[in-house]
Chain A
Amino acid sequence: MVATLDSLCAVACQQLPLTGAAITLVPSVGSHTVAAASSATTRELEEAQFGVGEGPTRDAFTSRRPVLVADLTLAGLPRWPGWAPVAVRAGAAAAYALPLHVGASIFGVLTLYAGSRPLDPEGLRTALVLADIATDILLDGRAADGGSTLPPDLGDILGGHAHVYQAQGMVMVALGVGLAEALVRMRAHAWATGQDLGALATEIVSGRQMPTADPG
Protein backbone atom coordinates (compact mmCIF):
# COMPACT_ATOMS: atom_id res chain seq x y z
CA MET A 1 0.00 0.00 0.00
CA VAL A 2 2.90 2.35 0.82
CA ALA A 3 4.18 1.86 -2.75
CA THR A 4 0.77 2.88 -4.11
CA LEU A 5 0.73 5.97 -1.92
CA ASP A 6 4.25 6.83 -3.06
CA SER A 7 3.18 6.63 -6.70
CA LEU A 8 0.14 8.79 -5.94
CA CYS A 9 2.48 11.48 -4.58
CA ALA A 10 4.61 11.14 -7.72
CA VAL A 11 1.52 11.44 -9.96
CA ALA A 12 0.42 14.54 -8.04
CA CYS A 13 3.80 16.16 -8.77
CA GLN A 14 3.52 15.27 -12.47
CA GLN A 15 -0.04 16.52 -12.86
CA LEU A 16 0.29 19.72 -10.88
CA PRO A 17 3.00 22.39 -10.57
CA LEU A 18 4.18 21.22 -7.11
CA THR A 19 7.41 21.23 -5.16
CA GLY A 20 6.28 18.20 -3.15
CA ALA A 21 3.45 15.93 -2.02
CA ALA A 22 3.07 13.78 1.09
CA ILE A 23 0.51 11.52 2.74
CA THR A 24 0.39 11.43 6.53
CA LEU A 25 -1.64 8.67 8.14
CA VAL A 26 -3.59 9.12 11.33
CA PRO A 27 -3.82 5.86 13.27
CA SER A 28 -6.62 5.71 15.84
CA VAL A 29 -4.18 6.04 18.74
CA GLY A 30 -3.19 9.55 17.79
CA SER A 31 0.42 9.27 16.67
CA HIS A 32 1.10 10.31 13.11
CA THR A 33 3.14 8.61 10.40
CA VAL A 34 4.31 10.15 7.17
CA ALA A 35 3.48 7.16 4.96
CA ALA A 36 4.58 8.57 1.62
CA ALA A 37 6.43 11.60 0.34
CA SER A 38 7.69 12.70 -3.06
CA SER A 39 11.10 13.74 -1.66
CA ALA A 40 13.18 13.73 1.52
CA THR A 41 12.69 17.51 1.90
CA THR A 42 8.91 17.13 1.73
CA ARG A 43 9.02 14.35 4.29
CA GLU A 44 11.04 16.56 6.66
CA LEU A 45 8.62 19.43 6.14
CA GLU A 46 5.74 17.16 6.99
CA GLU A 47 7.47 15.72 10.06
CA ALA A 48 8.41 19.21 11.23
CA GLN A 49 4.69 19.91 11.77
CA PHE A 50 4.53 17.23 14.41
CA GLY A 51 7.77 18.42 15.95
CA VAL A 52 6.58 22.00 16.43
CA GLY A 53 2.94 20.98 16.96
CA GLU A 54 1.41 23.11 14.20
CA GLY A 55 0.90 23.23 10.44
CA PRO A 56 -1.66 22.71 7.66
CA THR A 57 -1.69 18.90 7.86
CA ARG A 58 -2.47 19.05 11.58
CA ASP A 59 -5.15 21.69 11.02
CA ALA A 60 -6.78 19.68 8.23
CA PHE A 61 -6.91 16.69 10.55
CA THR A 62 -8.46 18.61 13.48
CA SER A 63 -10.90 20.73 11.47
CA ARG A 64 -11.89 17.89 9.12
CA ARG A 65 -11.83 20.19 6.14
CA PRO A 66 -9.24 21.23 3.57
CA VAL A 67 -6.69 23.82 4.65
CA LEU A 68 -5.63 25.70 1.54
CA VAL A 69 -3.08 28.46 1.91
CA ALA A 70 -1.85 29.97 -1.34
CA ASP A 71 0.63 32.33 0.34
CA LEU A 72 2.60 30.89 3.24
CA THR A 73 4.48 34.11 4.00
CA LEU A 74 1.33 36.25 4.25
CA ALA A 75 -1.40 33.95 5.55
CA GLY A 76 0.85 31.16 6.85
CA LEU A 77 3.18 33.07 9.19
CA PRO A 78 0.59 34.40 11.66
CA ARG A 79 -1.19 31.04 11.64
CA TRP A 80 1.87 28.82 12.10
CA PRO A 81 4.70 31.04 13.42
CA GLY A 82 6.90 28.06 14.22
CA TRP A 83 6.38 25.97 11.11
CA ALA A 84 5.83 28.46 8.26
CA PRO A 85 9.42 29.84 8.28
CA VAL A 86 10.73 26.26 8.00
CA ALA A 87 8.45 25.68 5.01
CA VAL A 88 9.42 28.92 3.30
CA ARG A 89 13.13 28.12 3.78
CA ALA A 90 12.51 24.72 2.19
CA GLY A 91 11.11 26.46 -0.91
CA ALA A 92 7.37 26.04 -0.27
CA ALA A 93 5.26 29.14 -0.95
CA ALA A 94 1.83 27.46 -0.79
CA ALA A 95 0.39 24.47 1.09
CA TYR A 96 -2.79 22.49 0.39
CA ALA A 97 -3.75 19.95 3.06
CA LEU A 98 -6.70 17.70 2.15
CA PRO A 99 -8.25 15.34 4.70
CA LEU A 100 -8.67 11.75 3.50
CA HIS A 101 -11.99 10.91 5.11
CA VAL A 102 -15.51 9.58 4.76
CA GLY A 103 -17.65 11.44 7.28
CA ALA A 104 -16.36 10.77 10.78
CA SER A 105 -13.72 8.20 9.72
CA ILE A 106 -10.48 9.94 8.88
CA PHE A 107 -7.55 7.96 7.48
CA GLY A 108 -4.97 10.64 6.88
CA VAL A 109 -4.14 13.87 5.10
CA LEU A 110 -2.72 14.51 1.63
CA THR A 111 -0.58 17.64 1.67
CA LEU A 112 0.65 19.33 -1.50
CA TYR A 113 3.33 22.02 -1.56
CA ALA A 114 3.77 24.53 -4.38
CA GLY A 115 6.46 27.10 -5.16
CA SER A 116 5.87 30.61 -6.44
CA ARG A 117 3.02 29.45 -8.68
CA PRO A 118 -0.08 28.62 -6.57
CA LEU A 119 -2.73 26.19 -7.83
CA ASP A 120 -5.49 27.67 -9.99
CA PRO A 121 -9.15 26.60 -9.46
CA GLU A 122 -8.71 23.77 -11.99
CA GLY A 123 -5.59 22.61 -10.10
CA LEU A 124 -7.53 22.70 -6.82
CA ARG A 125 -10.18 20.45 -8.35
CA THR A 126 -7.49 18.02 -9.51
CA ALA A 127 -6.04 18.03 -5.98
CA LEU A 128 -9.45 17.11 -4.52
CA VAL A 129 -9.81 14.25 -7.00
CA LEU A 130 -6.34 12.98 -5.97
CA ALA A 131 -7.57 13.07 -2.35
CA ASP A 132 -10.62 10.97 -3.34
CA ILE A 133 -8.27 8.43 -4.94
CA ALA A 134 -5.98 8.37 -1.88
CA THR A 135 -9.02 7.80 0.38
CA ASP A 136 -10.05 4.88 -1.81
CA ILE A 137 -6.54 3.37 -1.66
CA LEU A 138 -6.52 3.61 2.15
CA LEU A 139 -9.97 2.06 2.47
CA ASP A 140 -8.91 -0.80 0.20
CA GLY A 141 -5.75 -1.22 2.24
CA ARG A 142 -7.82 -1.79 5.35
CA ALA A 143 -9.95 -4.36 3.56
CA ALA A 144 -7.15 -6.34 2.01
CA ASP A 145 -4.14 -5.87 4.28
CA GLY A 146 -1.99 -5.55 1.20
CA GLY A 147 -3.48 -8.61 -0.51
CA SER A 148 -6.29 -8.65 -3.06
CA THR A 149 -8.30 -5.51 -3.59
CA LEU A 150 -12.01 -4.94 -3.65
CA PRO A 151 -13.64 -3.23 -6.62
CA PRO A 152 -13.05 0.52 -6.31
CA ASP A 153 -16.46 2.04 -5.75
CA LEU A 154 -15.71 4.96 -3.49
CA GLY A 155 -16.79 7.22 -6.32
CA ASP A 156 -20.29 5.81 -5.85
CA ILE A 157 -20.11 6.10 -2.10
CA LEU A 158 -19.19 9.74 -2.34
CA GLY A 159 -21.78 10.45 -5.01
CA GLY A 160 -24.39 11.72 -2.60
CA HIS A 161 -26.29 8.63 -1.58
CA ALA A 162 -27.15 9.48 2.01
CA HIS A 163 -28.45 5.97 2.75
CA VAL A 164 -24.96 4.49 2.28
CA TYR A 165 -23.71 6.54 5.22
CA GLN A 166 -26.79 5.74 7.31
CA ALA A 167 -26.21 2.05 6.60
CA GLN A 168 -22.56 2.50 7.63
CA GLY A 169 -23.65 3.84 11.04
CA MET A 170 -26.11 0.95 11.44
CA VAL A 171 -23.50 -1.71 10.58
CA MET A 172 -21.08 -0.12 13.06
CA VAL A 173 -23.58 -0.60 15.89
CA ALA A 174 -25.01 -3.95 14.74
CA LEU A 175 -21.60 -5.62 14.35
CA GLY A 176 -19.84 -3.74 17.11
CA VAL A 177 -17.01 -2.61 14.82
CA GLY A 178 -15.41 0.75 14.13
CA LEU A 179 -16.99 3.15 11.64
CA ALA A 180 -14.33 2.68 8.94
CA GLU A 181 -14.45 -1.09 9.44
CA ALA A 182 -18.24 -0.96 8.93
CA LEU A 183 -17.77 0.48 5.43
CA VAL A 184 -15.11 -2.14 4.64
CA ARG A 185 -17.56 -4.91 5.73
CA MET A 186 -20.31 -3.43 3.57
CA ARG A 187 -18.05 -3.34 0.55
CA ALA A 188 -16.91 -6.93 1.16
CA HIS A 189 -20.51 -8.11 1.62
CA ALA A 190 -21.72 -6.29 -1.51
CA TRP A 191 -18.87 -7.79 -3.51
CA ALA A 192 -19.39 -11.32 -2.16
CA THR A 193 -23.13 -11.26 -2.84
CA GLY A 194 -22.90 -9.53 -6.21
CA GLN A 195 -24.89 -6.44 -5.23
CA ASP A 196 -23.86 -2.87 -5.73
CA LEU A 197 -23.14 -0.93 -2.60
CA GLY A 198 -26.12 1.43 -2.97
CA ALA A 199 -28.54 -1.52 -3.28
CA LEU A 200 -27.03 -3.23 -0.24
CA ALA A 201 -27.31 0.02 1.75
CA THR A 202 -31.02 0.25 0.90
CA GLU A 203 -31.48 -3.32 2.17
CA ILE A 204 -29.62 -2.51 5.39
CA VAL A 205 -31.53 0.72 6.07
CA SER A 206 -34.86 -1.05 5.53
CA GLY A 207 -33.78 -3.83 7.91
CA ARG A 208 -33.82 -6.64 5.34
CA GLN A 209 -30.08 -7.47 5.28
CA MET A 210 -27.06 -7.10 7.53
CA PRO A 211 -23.48 -8.13 6.70
CA THR A 212 -22.24 -10.99 8.88
CA ALA A 213 -19.86 -10.50 11.79
CA ASP A 214 -17.01 -12.23 9.95
CA PRO A 215 -15.41 -10.33 7.10
CA GLY A 216 -16.38 -11.94 3.79
Chain B
Amino acid sequence: MISLPDLSDFFVDVADTLVDDFDLVDFLDHLTEKAATVSGAAAVGLVLSDHQGRVRFMAASNESGKMLELLQIQNHEGPCLEALSTGVPVVNADLAHAADRWPRFAPRALEAGFQSVHAFPMRLRSQVIGALNIFGTQDARFEPDEVRVVQALADVATIAIIQERNLVQAELLTEQLQGALNSRIVIEQAKGALAQGDGITTAEAFDLLRTRARQERRRLVDVASEVLSDLERADS
Protein backbone atom coordinates (compact mmCIF):
# COMPACT_ATOMS: atom_id res chain seq x y z
CA MET B 1 0.00 0.00 0.00
CA ILE B 2 1.41 3.37 -1.05
CA SER B 3 1.84 5.89 1.76
CA LEU B 4 0.99 9.39 0.52
CA PRO B 5 3.00 11.38 3.12
CA ASP B 6 6.02 9.16 2.39
CA LEU B 7 5.48 9.69 -1.31
CA SER B 8 5.59 13.47 -1.05
CA ASP B 9 8.71 13.15 1.14
CA PHE B 10 10.20 11.01 -1.59
CA PHE B 11 9.70 13.62 -4.29
CA VAL B 12 10.93 16.49 -2.12
CA ASP B 13 13.97 14.42 -1.29
CA VAL B 14 14.60 13.51 -4.91
CA ALA B 15 14.26 17.12 -6.01
CA ASP B 16 16.87 18.07 -3.38
CA THR B 17 19.28 15.39 -4.52
CA LEU B 18 19.00 16.23 -8.19
CA VAL B 19 20.22 19.81 -7.85
CA ASP B 20 23.73 19.96 -6.52
CA ASP B 21 26.65 17.62 -5.99
CA PHE B 22 24.85 14.72 -7.58
CA ASP B 23 26.30 11.21 -7.52
CA LEU B 24 24.42 8.44 -9.29
CA VAL B 25 25.50 5.58 -7.01
CA ASP B 26 24.48 7.42 -3.84
CA PHE B 27 21.28 8.56 -5.48
CA LEU B 28 20.19 5.06 -6.50
CA ASP B 29 21.16 3.66 -3.10
CA HIS B 30 18.98 6.30 -1.48
CA LEU B 31 16.17 5.79 -3.98
CA THR B 32 15.84 2.07 -3.22
CA GLU B 33 15.63 2.83 0.51
CA LYS B 34 12.95 5.48 -0.05
CA ALA B 35 11.02 3.32 -2.50
CA ALA B 36 10.82 0.61 0.19
CA THR B 37 9.35 3.12 2.67
CA VAL B 38 6.86 4.54 0.17
CA SER B 39 5.58 1.17 -1.01
CA GLY B 40 5.77 -0.55 2.38
CA ALA B 41 7.95 -3.22 0.78
CA ALA B 42 10.26 -5.55 2.69
CA ALA B 43 13.01 -5.10 0.10
CA VAL B 44 13.70 -3.08 -3.04
CA GLY B 45 16.47 -3.76 -5.56
CA LEU B 46 17.69 -2.09 -8.73
CA VAL B 47 19.68 -3.54 -11.63
CA LEU B 48 21.22 -1.93 -14.71
CA SER B 49 22.09 -3.46 -18.05
CA ASP B 50 25.72 -3.04 -19.23
CA HIS B 51 27.26 -2.64 -22.69
CA GLN B 52 27.22 -6.37 -23.34
CA GLY B 53 23.58 -6.64 -22.29
CA ARG B 54 24.60 -8.28 -19.00
CA VAL B 55 22.45 -7.50 -16.00
CA ARG B 56 24.41 -5.92 -13.15
CA PHE B 57 23.36 -5.35 -9.55
CA MET B 58 23.35 -1.63 -8.75
CA ALA B 59 21.54 -0.82 -5.49
CA ALA B 60 19.20 -2.27 -2.85
CA SER B 61 17.35 -1.04 0.22
CA ASN B 62 18.94 -3.82 2.30
CA GLU B 63 20.93 -7.07 2.03
CA SER B 64 17.76 -9.10 1.28
CA GLY B 65 17.07 -6.90 -1.72
CA LYS B 66 20.60 -7.42 -2.95
CA MET B 67 20.41 -11.18 -2.39
CA LEU B 68 17.13 -11.36 -4.37
CA GLU B 69 18.66 -9.45 -7.30
CA LEU B 70 21.80 -11.61 -7.36
CA LEU B 71 19.60 -14.72 -7.19
CA GLN B 72 17.89 -13.60 -10.41
CA ILE B 73 21.14 -12.64 -12.14
CA GLN B 74 22.82 -15.93 -11.27
CA ASN B 75 19.81 -18.01 -12.32
CA HIS B 76 19.15 -15.97 -15.47
CA GLU B 77 15.45 -15.68 -14.59
CA GLY B 78 13.06 -13.65 -12.48
CA PRO B 79 10.75 -10.63 -12.53
CA CYS B 80 13.52 -8.04 -12.86
CA LEU B 81 15.05 -9.78 -15.87
CA GLU B 82 11.58 -10.14 -17.40
CA ALA B 83 10.86 -6.41 -17.02
CA LEU B 84 14.28 -5.66 -18.50
CA SER B 85 13.86 -7.85 -21.57
CA THR B 86 10.20 -7.05 -22.32
CA GLY B 87 10.05 -3.42 -21.15
CA VAL B 88 6.70 -4.24 -19.52
CA PRO B 89 6.11 -4.15 -15.73
CA VAL B 90 5.59 -7.41 -13.85
CA VAL B 91 2.85 -6.63 -11.34
CA ASN B 92 1.35 -8.52 -8.40
CA ALA B 93 3.23 -11.75 -9.00
CA ASP B 94 2.49 -14.25 -6.26
CA LEU B 95 5.66 -16.22 -5.56
CA ALA B 96 3.72 -19.20 -4.19
CA HIS B 97 2.22 -19.68 -7.66
CA ALA B 98 5.26 -18.74 -9.73
CA ALA B 99 7.17 -22.03 -9.78
CA ASP B 100 6.37 -22.54 -13.49
CA ARG B 101 7.34 -19.03 -14.45
CA TRP B 102 10.63 -18.90 -12.47
CA PRO B 103 11.46 -22.50 -11.42
CA ARG B 104 14.81 -21.60 -9.86
CA PHE B 105 14.13 -18.11 -8.51
CA ALA B 106 10.60 -18.46 -7.04
CA PRO B 107 11.23 -21.34 -4.58
CA ARG B 108 14.38 -19.67 -3.22
CA ALA B 109 12.66 -16.31 -2.76
CA LEU B 110 9.78 -18.07 -0.97
CA GLU B 111 12.27 -19.89 1.25
CA ALA B 112 13.76 -16.52 2.20
CA GLY B 113 10.32 -15.44 3.39
CA PHE B 114 9.05 -13.39 0.44
CA GLN B 115 5.53 -13.73 -0.96
CA SER B 116 5.01 -11.09 -3.60
CA VAL B 117 7.08 -9.37 -6.24
CA HIS B 118 6.73 -6.51 -8.74
CA ALA B 119 9.26 -5.34 -11.31
CA PHE B 120 9.26 -2.06 -13.23
CA PRO B 121 11.38 -1.34 -16.31
CA MET B 122 13.57 1.77 -16.47
CA ARG B 123 12.80 2.96 -19.98
CA LEU B 124 14.72 5.55 -21.94
CA ARG B 125 13.00 6.05 -25.29
CA SER B 126 13.26 2.67 -27.06
CA GLN B 127 15.95 1.38 -24.69
CA VAL B 128 15.43 -0.40 -21.35
CA ILE B 129 18.44 0.49 -19.21
CA GLY B 130 17.49 -1.22 -15.97
CA ALA B 131 14.69 -2.39 -13.68
CA LEU B 132 13.34 -1.73 -10.19
CA ASN B 133 12.14 -4.68 -8.09
CA ILE B 134 9.75 -4.50 -5.12
CA PHE B 135 9.51 -7.51 -2.80
CA GLY B 136 6.90 -8.10 -0.08
CA THR B 137 6.73 -10.60 2.76
CA GLN B 138 2.95 -10.66 2.40
CA ASP B 139 0.86 -11.11 -0.71
CA ALA B 140 0.70 -7.33 -1.20
CA ARG B 141 -1.19 -6.31 -4.34
CA PHE B 142 -0.87 -2.95 -6.05
CA GLU B 143 -4.03 -1.28 -7.39
CA PRO B 144 -3.75 0.17 -10.94
CA ASP B 145 -3.24 3.69 -9.51
CA GLU B 146 -0.43 2.43 -7.31
CA VAL B 147 1.21 0.68 -10.25
CA ARG B 148 1.45 4.06 -11.97
CA VAL B 149 3.00 5.62 -8.87
CA VAL B 150 5.66 2.92 -8.56
CA GLN B 151 6.41 3.09 -12.29
CA ALA B 152 6.96 6.82 -11.69
CA LEU B 153 9.58 5.94 -9.05
CA ALA B 154 11.39 3.81 -11.64
CA ASP B 155 11.11 6.68 -14.13
CA VAL B 156 12.69 9.02 -11.56
CA ALA B 157 15.67 6.66 -11.41
CA THR B 158 15.94 6.83 -15.22
CA ILE B 159 15.70 10.62 -15.18
CA ALA B 160 18.45 10.76 -12.57
CA ILE B 161 20.71 8.79 -14.88
CA ILE B 162 20.11 11.06 -17.86
CA GLN B 163 19.83 14.38 -16.01
CA GLU B 164 23.44 14.85 -14.97
CA ARG B 165 24.45 16.64 -18.14
CA ASN B 166 21.36 16.32 -20.27
CA LEU B 167 22.45 12.98 -21.62
CA VAL B 168 20.98 13.20 -25.07
CA GLN B 169 24.04 11.56 -26.56
CA ALA B 170 25.01 7.91 -26.45
CA GLU B 171 28.54 8.94 -25.36
CA LEU B 172 27.37 10.64 -22.18
CA LEU B 173 24.95 7.87 -21.24
CA THR B 174 27.78 5.36 -21.65
CA GLU B 175 30.17 7.43 -19.49
CA GLN B 176 27.56 7.72 -16.76
CA LEU B 177 26.47 4.06 -16.70
CA GLN B 178 30.00 2.63 -16.93
CA GLY B 179 31.21 4.96 -14.19
CA ALA B 180 28.37 3.91 -11.89
CA LEU B 181 28.90 0.21 -12.54
CA ASN B 182 32.58 0.47 -11.67
CA SER B 183 31.81 2.51 -8.54
CA ARG B 184 29.57 -0.34 -7.41
CA ILE B 185 32.54 -2.73 -7.77
CA VAL B 186 34.73 -0.40 -5.66
CA ILE B 187 32.04 -0.44 -2.93
CA GLU B 188 31.91 -4.27 -2.94
CA GLN B 189 35.73 -4.47 -2.73
CA ALA B 190 35.72 -2.08 0.25
CA LYS B 191 32.95 -4.06 1.99
CA GLY B 192 35.08 -7.21 1.73
CA ALA B 193 38.26 -5.50 2.92
CA LEU B 194 36.49 -3.86 5.86
CA ALA B 195 34.72 -7.08 6.84
CA GLN B 196 38.01 -9.00 6.82
CA GLY B 197 39.92 -6.28 8.68
CA ASP B 198 37.33 -5.67 11.42
CA GLY B 199 35.90 -9.19 11.70
CA ILE B 200 32.38 -8.06 10.81
CA THR B 201 29.86 -9.15 8.14
CA THR B 202 29.78 -7.52 4.71
CA ALA B 203 26.31 -6.16 5.55
CA GLU B 204 27.72 -4.47 8.66
CA ALA B 205 30.64 -3.20 6.61
CA PHE B 206 28.20 -1.61 4.16
CA ASP B 207 26.28 0.07 6.99
CA LEU B 208 29.57 1.54 8.23
CA LEU B 209 30.42 2.89 4.77
CA ARG B 210 26.93 4.30 4.26
CA THR B 211 26.81 5.95 7.70
CA ARG B 212 30.24 7.48 7.24
CA ALA B 213 29.40 8.78 3.77
CA ARG B 214 26.21 10.41 5.02
CA GLN B 215 27.76 11.88 8.18
CA GLU B 216 30.68 13.35 6.28
CA ARG B 217 28.49 14.28 3.27
CA ARG B 218 30.78 12.45 0.91
CA ARG B 219 30.10 10.09 -1.95
CA LEU B 220 29.89 6.38 -1.06
CA VAL B 221 32.47 5.53 -3.71
CA ASP B 222 34.95 8.09 -2.28
CA VAL B 223 34.63 6.67 1.22
CA ALA B 224 35.00 3.15 -0.22
CA SER B 225 38.13 4.12 -2.22
CA GLU B 226 39.68 5.71 0.84
CA VAL B 227 39.02 2.62 2.97
CA LEU B 228 40.60 0.44 0.28
CA SER B 229 43.71 2.54 -0.18
CA ASP B 230 44.19 2.84 3.62
CA LEU B 231 43.93 -0.93 4.07
CA GLU B 232 46.07 -1.62 1.00
CA ARG B 233 48.81 0.68 2.30
CA ALA B 234 48.63 -0.71 5.83
CA ASP B 235 49.19 -4.22 4.53
CA SER B 236 51.67 -3.98 1.72
Contact = CB atoms under 8 A, between A and B. Distances in A.
Interface of A: 63-70, 96, 99, 101-104, 120-121, 124-125, 128-129, 132, 158-163, 165-179, 205
6 contacts: A68-B172, A96-B171, A129-B51, A159-B54, A171-B196, A172-B235
Interface stretch (B88-96, B116-124, B135-143, B226-234): B226-234
Interface of B: 47, 51-52, 54-57, 66, 70, 73-74, 169-172, 174-176, 178-179, 182-186, 188-197, 202, 224-225, 228-229, 231-232, 235-236
Contacts of A163: 70, 188
A125 B52 contact: yes
Contacts of A177: 235-236
The 8 closest A-B pairs by CB, nearest first: A169-B192, A65-B179, A169-B193, A103-B185, A166-B192, A165-B188, A68-B171, A176-B235
B174 A102 contact: no
Given A66-B175, A178-B236, A102 B192 contact: no
A25 B27 CA distance: 32
Given A104-B225, A124-B171, A179-B232, A170 B178 contact: no
Nearest to A129: B52
B194 A69 contact: no
Contacts of A170: 192-193, 195-196
Nearest to B73: A160
A173 B196 contact: yes
Given A170-B192, A177-B236, A104 B169 contact: no
Given A124-B171, A173-B231, A160 B192 contact: no
A103 B184 CA distance: 7
Contact of A174 (B66, B169, B186, B196): B196
Chain B interface SS verdict (over half): helix
Given A101-B182, A165-B189, A70 B54 contact: no
A66 B235 contact: no
A158 B181 CA distance: 10
A174 B174 CA distance: 35
B174 A173 contact: no
Given A64-B179, A67-B175, 18 more contacts: A64-B183, A65-B182, A68-B174, A104-B190, A104-B225, A120-B170, A124-B170, A125-B51, A128-B51, A128-B52, A160-B54, A160-B57, A161-B73, A165-B188, A172-B189, A172-B192, A172-B196, A173-B235
Contacts of A64: 179, 182-183
Nearest to A168: B189
Most buried by B among A99, A104, A166, A170: A104
Contact of A103 (B70, B169, B188, B231): B188
Given A159-B54, A170-B192, A205-B202, A124 B174 contact: yes
A162 B236 contact: no
Contacts of A174: 196
Contacts of B66: 162
Nearest to A63: B179
